[in-house]
Each structure stands twice: as C-alpha cells, then as structure tokens.
Structure 1
Amino acid sequence: MIVSRKLPESINRIVGQFPEEVQDFFLEMISADRSKQTIANYAYDFALFFDFLTTRGKTIHQVDAMTLKRFFRHIENGYERTVHIKMKKKDPITGEMKEVWVERTHFRENSRSGKQRKRASLRSLFRFLVKSHVLDRDPMEEYEDATLKSRARSKVPVFLTKEEALRLIQAVHHYHQKKNTKSPNWIETRDLAIILMFLNTGMRVSELINLNLNSIQTDGQVYRIIIIGKGGKERMLKLNGNAMDALKAYLERRPKDPVPPEHQYALFLNKNYQRISRKGISEIIKKYVREANLPPKAANISPHKLRHTLATLLLSNGENLRVVQEILGHSSIQTTQIYTHVINTEKDDALDRLDRML
C-alpha cells in the first residue's frame, strides 16, 4: 500500500499497516517538510507500539496509562525490530534477476536517548489524535503524570583529540595498504573524503548521505558544500584544503556506468553503486577506528561524535561560539554551549595554579 510517494518504499510498507488516523499523522509530517529520517524514526517507533497492542488485543482507542506503562516495560531492556529490505536475487529457473523483499530481524538496545525518543514519538501522536478529535483524552499525559521522573544526567560530549583525529585519517591509507584488502581504489578515496567531510563540516550523518553531486559548488579553487539540515534549512560551508583534495580525488574515481538511474545523482555510493546508507557510514567509521587502534574512550566513535570533535577543535582554537553554531546548523546557541563545558580554559588555569599550592 502506498501512503505517500514521498516516502521510501520500505517506510510505506510500515506506515500502510497503521490505522488510517495514524497514517494521517504521517501525511501531516510530510506536509510540514519533516525529514525522511525523522519520519522513518516515527514509523519504527509506532511499529513497535502497534505490534505490542496487537499482542494485547487492543486498539488505539483502548490505550490508557497502564497500557503505556506495560509497553515501556516490555521494551525496557531491548527489543527486536523487523525491517524489510529490497534485494536483487537470481531466479533459480530462469536465471533472471528479480527484486524481492527480504525480512531482517535485528535486536536493538534500548538506550536512554532511544527511550526518550519513543516517548516523544508517542506524545506527538496522541496530541495529534486529540487535536483531530479521534481521541477524547491523551493517555500519555496520564502516564507521565503517574510516572516517576528519571534523574537528568548531563554528559560531556565524547570527541577525538587532534592527534586521535589525525590517526583516524591516516588509518584509511594504512587499512588499504594491507595485502588482504581487495577493495577497488575508489572505495579508499570515498572513505577518506567521508571522514574529512565529517571533520571539516561537522555535518550530521543524515545530511551527508543525502548529499548529491549538485550539492558541491565550485568557485575557482574554492569548493563549498550545500547542506540541507533539520527542517529543510540550508547552510553552505567551505571545504578546507584536505577535504577538498580528498573529495576531488573521489569524484575522479567515482563509478558512473554501473550506477542505477535512481542513484546517479547521489554523491557517496556504496559498493553496490547505490546511495550510501546510515548503516554503511557507521560501518566505515567503525572499521577505521579499529585500524587506528584508538584508546577506549574513543573506541566507540560514531559519525555524530566526529561532529563533537569538530565543535571541540573549533572552540579550543578560540573560534566564536556563534560561528560554531552556524557551522553545525544548531537552531539554538544553547545546544552549542554544551561544548564550552569541555573547552574551559579558566578551569584548566585554576587547576594549573594548584601546582603552586600542593
């Protein structure tokens, strides 16, 4: 069932199984220009919830505070997520290549941020259903009123030092120098360009995978990248020399002929010549983090932590907080200020002065 042609086919399959009034919620999000990744996250969260309701024999109209409490307890320590992926398979009789849907089940940890997102997702849904007069009351309000609030924990962002970032960059070449590595040469140039783009621009992984060839603007020897951020907001950032050279090297080797028409404008491709995915990016980063043999603190570096790294390096270099906000595409400067807790020279100086006393 096609709910909207603006949604990816895999998400349409999920949303099409929801009640019609819930499908209306997704159509509203599309009208509001919410990002495809945001819509996909809502779809995955709601799929968990409606699967739970099905096992309890309940409809959306029968949800109360206790139902919500049991749902959140049900997924507290992790859950299985089933996704459908379209793959090409050869017909054993005719030998013809056909596209088929393959079901994949993954176990997911329910992290603190994951729990917060699921609550926010259901909060948005029930508010919409009340405003649309589908429901008379909001069960999430009743649930949250009766729930003990968990203590807020403020975490210092994890980031790479300058030396660790350089080791990660060098790890790309070291990895492909090995004799047992048989990747085509365009893969090495792609991976180096991706890592340098993260470290140069601090873009989000969702922003990077949605880059197209026409996202690059050239002005003589200057390369700029147009990034479409949250809420469809655009920002243009200049690439420094290293990132520009890496991108040019990748573009010279980027495959052209085997790329399917629907992926021909994608900037970064996977080994199957399709637009690279979030998972593909995460695997790339993990591979070179292992190769760089980074210390335990940096061993779980993700694309988003490379964003933290750029922010920290900029501020430690004395850059203006407002400029860093604009580079990262934060809508509020308060979001950017979390990095000032990491780079606080006054604290450093105070502890250094302790040398004279102890």
Structure 2
Amino acid sequence: MDINEEYEEELEAFLIWMKDAGYTPYTQKSYLADVRQFLDSLNGKQLESVKKLHVVSFLTSVRERGVSDATRNRKHAAVSCFFKALIELELYTANPAAGIKKSKTEKNREPVYLDEDDLQRFLSAIDGKYRSRNLAVFLLMSYMGLRVGEVHTLNLSDYNVERRSLRVFGKGRKWRNIPVPEGVVPYLDLALEGRLTPWRSKEEAMFISQKGRRLSIRGIQQIAADTFARFQSEVPAAHRRPYSSHKLRHSFATMLLRKGADLRTVQELLGHSSIQTTTVYTHITSREKEVAMSRLQLHMPQ
C-alpha cells in the first residue's frame, strides 16, 4: 500500500497547514516523516475510525524500537498536529492524539557544554577553505546563543552593522534582537566580505554553501561534527564527550550565568518562551561545589 496515495489529500492538507503556520522546512520534513510512519502503522484503516488506542499503540511500538523519550514525544506532537490541522481545515472533527501523556524526559539532566578554555580550543580546531564562514557560524552559536536553525535562516538584512545587532527568527515564529559582542564583530564582517557567490543572484542567505545555496542545517551539523572530531582527536575514545553543534548554545548560556547574568536576561537572549526551560542551565560544576564547601568553618565545642 502506498501511504502517499491512500492518504494523499490529508498529507497535502497537513503540508499546506504547516507552511501557513510558519513551520520551518526542517520541521515540516520531520513531521511529515513521523506522520507517514504513523499512517503506515494503521494498515489501511480509514482515518475516521482511528481511536486514541491506535495512537498509543503506535507510540508504544516506537518506544519498543528503542528511540529516546524526546523522539517519542516529537512523533506524538507530529501526529497531534496532523489531526489538529485536519480539524482546522474542516476535514475531520476529532483529534485521537489529544490527551495522551508525554513521556517524562530527564528534565534535570545537566547539559553537555564546553567551558571557555575548551571553547577556545574548539574554535582553533576550525580550518579549511571555508574557515572564516565556519568560524562566524560557530561564534554566533557559542557567543550569541543561536540555534542551528536560526543560523540557517539568517539573511544579510538581519545584521544591523551600525547598531551591531542581529535580528533572529526563532522558535514560535518570534523575532529577537541580540547585540553582537565586540569580539565577534570582526569575524562576522570578515565572513560577510568573503561570502561565497550564491547560485541565485537574489539569494539573501547570510551563509552560503560551497554549492551556492543557503547553508543547510545538516551542513552546519556536519561541519560541527568534523570540527569536534578534530578537537577531541587526542582524547581516548572512551573519554570523548557527545558534543554537537547545539552544545555551543549550552556553552553560551552557561558562560553568561557564571558571569552573573540574571536568568530573565538569559531567557530573552536564548529566545525561550518559558523561564523553566532556561533553569536547566543553572547547573554548578564540582569545582564550584568544592570551593563553596571549603568556605565552611567547623567549630566544635571544646
């Protein structure tokens, strides 16, 4: 059975709804893949007869295949969005994915991040033909807290040279303005001076790939993976940390809080809709705990 033919109208409607709602191409692709996987699990069942049980059964089978709780929750969100779209477009009247509990993720898990010395070594590990571009990309993530997707969507017009600020289009279709740190300015300017010639003359993307197109999310992630591999090349395999491009954002948040920035400011700079999301960065290192404990004076009665 061809899923695309069986549910062609519904999948097309869902894609139109996501585009209209402003979902990024990356999210559209992920959600469509998740929904197709769900539809495949129905074995040709009509959508009108789908019940909550079928959605729970799909999510259970996904978990049994060993995916993380976060991935299971994303698939749940995709299916729920799918039915929400069909209801809003007046194709269906009920959402069988509504009211299903999310998997509990490890909310208090300490984020993996690089301290300032490690960050310097990571940035030094950036090399190759496109070094100035890649350096600017990773500086925006590690010293301005941008997400991979936000770097990907940046346009030339988003950089205000006079004000030294960057306009960033983030999650939830929200814009935020971030001051460009003085130390980052020359590297960003250098990257823009050496910007690759785009394939289309009207291409507005700030960062261009070697193929002349907007530098993709996958492209940024791969450049980061290659740089982290060089960065940890002398570390024994068993002691290598699971670094990725997103860890640069973690490093930015950690640095800010350690330098005394208040949580609300960090929330604004990161573009978090809830301050609860920002509190995950208030982790304290073992060294700081040791220093704090060493200040305690024990006075025993004689």
| Structure 1 and Structure 2 fold alike (TM over 0.5) | yes
1:274 is aligned, of 205, 210, 213, to: 213
Q: Which residue of 2 aligns with 1:235?
A: 176
Name stretches of at least 5 consecutive residues in structure 1 with no aligned partner: 1-13, 79-108, 177-183
Q: Which residue of 1 aligns with 2:242?
A: 300
Matched, 1:41 2:41: no
CA RMSD across the alignment: 3.2
Matched, 1:322 2:267: no
Instruction: Please list, as runs of the form range in 1=range in 2, the aligned pairs for 1:144-223 lying within 5 A after superposition.
Output: 144=100, 151-154=104-107, 155-173=109-127, 176=128, 184=129, 187-219=130-162, 223=164
| Structure showing the higher strand proportion among its residues | 1
Q: Secondary structure at the match of 1:58?
A: coil
Bigger mean CA offset, 227-236 vs 60-69: 60-69
Compute the displacement of 1:28 (Å): 3.4
Compute the displacement of 1:280 (Å): 0.6
Give, as a single letter, the amino acid of the residue that structure 2 aligns with 1:328. L
2:274 is aligned, of 321, 324, 332, to: 332
CA contact (8 A) 1:289 1:299 kept: no
- Corresponding residue pairs, total: 293
Cα distance change of structure 1 residues 150 and 73 upon mapping to structure 2, 3 Å threshold: closer
Name stretches of at least 5 consecutive residues in structure 2 with no aligned partner: none
Q: Secondary structure at the match of 1:39?
A: helix
Bigger mean CA offset, 64-73 vs 41-50: 64-73
Q: Secondary structure at the match of 2:168?
A: strand
CA contact (8 A) 1:15 1:23 kept: no
Using the alignment, how far apart are the partners of 2:95 and 2:132 within structure 1? 52
Using the alignment, how far apart are the partners of 1:32 and 1:71 within structure 2? 26
Using the alignment, how far apart are the partners of 1:254 and 1:168 within structure 2? 22
Compute the displacement of 1:211 (Å): 0.8
Q: Which residue of 2 aligns with 1:125?
A: 82
Give, as a single letter, the amino acid of the residue that structure 2 aligns with 1:153. E
Percentage identity across aligned positions? Answer: 31
Give, as a single letter, the amino acid of the residue that structure 1 aligns with 2:45. K
Q: Which residue of 1 aligns with 2:54?
A: 67
Cα distance change of structure 1 residues 194 and 27 upon mapping to structure 2, 3 Å threshold: same
Cα distance change of structure 1 residues 265 and 133 upon mapping to structure 2, 3 Å threshold: closer
Q: Secondary structure at the match of 1:313?
A: helix
Compute the displacement of 1:287 (Å): 0.9
Q: Secondary structure at the match of 1:227?
A: strand
Q: CA-to-partner distance for each residue in 1:121-166, whole Å, 9 max, x for gaps?
A: 2123334545666445543358x38xxx755523111111111111
Using the alignment, how far apart are the partners of 1:22 and 1:290 within structure 2? 39
Give, as a single letter, the amino acid of the residue that structure 1 aligns with 2:106. R
Using the alignment, how far apart are the partners of 1:62 and 1:262 within structure 2? 50
Using the alignment, how far apart are the partners of 2:5 and 2:188 within structure 1? 39
Give, as a single letter, the amino acid of the residue that structure 2 aligns with 1:266. A
Q: Secondary structure at the match of 1:289?
A: helix
